[in-house]
């Protein structure tokens, strides 16, 4: 049976999450602090980082900011993006993360991605050890396929463990999670905290047309984001989202985040930014009342993926 995710003092996990991937990188310490404070003021208590983010600066800064409020916060980090999910690598990475965060206990530890080379039994034996020692509260998985999650669920259950939270990519132009991941998580009672609700910046409204595709920002400068969001229909969807946003006198970023949060599964979007100013439209989604009609109009801007069946004609 899953234990609800709460902070050390029993404060329920917030509906929205803040991802600190930019702390110590694109966001310096001052900008990072301003975003942390803005999130706390907005009611967010769930903060997400990882061993690999900004060479450790993300964890170090988050630990510094979180220290005075630690008992009321839910802190998540991730291990095994590099080096595999074997016992030695997991323990080494997690110990380094704890030292950076300056925390004896981390509320959530994610496996950052699935490791096909390591027996799941070894991985979950190690996680069971960490939980038994009182060093982690909950186990999460990120960047897993649905079958990989279910295989992990089975192995974890043999060790009296549960997988309590899942972190997939999900936004208006990246909807593959709707096929199996989101239905699976709903069936298993796993909380979903999707990352990239703004599509790497594509859905913020700052791109004024398809001509920007060749010249502007991270979507071009970072080869991963260029490949991920390089299809022309995605840019057209972003343009149409901006038109809808203007019609409703709201930021496109606010609509993009609110759309993810409005999914029937009650998802917990991971917000992120480089500055408090850039973050503000995403925070506005927390209190934005997205009507069913507007949700449907936004959904129609991108293709709905086919369900996971070999009888599509019957679906």
The DSSP output letter for 126 is: H
The distance in angstroms from the start CA to the end CA of the chain is: 33
Report the 3 state secondary structure along the chain: CCCCCECCCCCECCCCEEECCCECCCECHHHHHHHHHHHHHCCCCEEECCCCHHHHHHHHHHHHHHHHHHHHCEEEEEECCCCCCCHHHHHHHHHHHHHHHCCCCEEEEEECCCCCCCCHHHHHHHHHHHHHCCCEEEEEEECCCHHHHHHHHHHHHCCCCCEEEEECECECCECHHHCCHHHHHHHHCCEECCECCCHHHHHHCCCCCHHHHHCCCHHHHCHHHHHHCCCHHHHHHHHHHHHHHHHCCCCHHHHHHHHHHCCCCCCCCEECCCCHHHHHHHHHHHHCCCCHHHHHHHHCCCCCCCCCCCCHHHC
252 CB neighbour count, 10 Å cutoff: 25
Closest CA to 242 of 271, 209, 214: 209
Which of the following is catalytic: 51, 53, 124, 229? 53
Does 53 participate in catalysis according to the annotation? Answer: yes
Residues carrying an active site annotation: 53
């Amino acid at each position: 049976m899953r234990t609800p995710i709460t902070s050390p003092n029993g404060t329920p996990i917030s509906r929205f999450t803040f991802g600190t991937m930019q702390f110590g990188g694109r966001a310096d310490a001052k900008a990072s602090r301003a975003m942390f404070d803005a999130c706390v003021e907005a009611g967010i208590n769930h903060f997400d980082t990882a061993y690999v983010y900004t060479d450790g600066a993300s964890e170090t800064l988050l630990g510094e900011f979180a220290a005075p409020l630690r008992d009321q916060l839910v802190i998540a980090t991730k291990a095994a993006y590099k080096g595999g999910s074997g016992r030695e690598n997991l323990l080494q990475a997690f110990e380094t993360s704890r030292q950076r965060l300056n925390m004896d206990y981390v509320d959530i530890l994610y496996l950052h991605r699935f490791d096909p080379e390591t027996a799941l039994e070894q991985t979950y034996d190690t996680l069971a050890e960490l939980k038994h020692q009182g060093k982690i509260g909950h186990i999460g998985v990120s960047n897993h396929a649905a079958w990989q999650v279910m295989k992990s669920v089975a192995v974890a259950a043999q060790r009296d463990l549960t997988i309590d939270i899942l972190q997939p990519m999900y936004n208006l132009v990246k909807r593959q999670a709707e096929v199996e991941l989101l239905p699976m998580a709903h069936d298993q009672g796993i909380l979903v905290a999707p990352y990239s609700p703004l599509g790497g910046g594509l859905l913020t409204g700052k791109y004024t047309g398809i001509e920007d595709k060749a010249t502007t920002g991270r979507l071009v400068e970072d080869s991963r984001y260029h490949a991920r969001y390089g299809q022309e229909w995605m840019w057209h969807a972003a343009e149409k989202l901006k038109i809808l946003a203007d019609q409703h006198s709201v930021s496109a970023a606010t609509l993009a985040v609110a759309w993810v949060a409005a999914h029937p599964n009650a998802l917990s979007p991971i917000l992120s930014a480089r500055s408090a100013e850039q973050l503000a439209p995403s925070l506005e989604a927390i209190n934005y009342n997205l009507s069913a009609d507007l949700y449907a109009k936004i959904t129609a801007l991108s293709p709905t993926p086919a369900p996971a069946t070999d009888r599509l004609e019957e679906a």
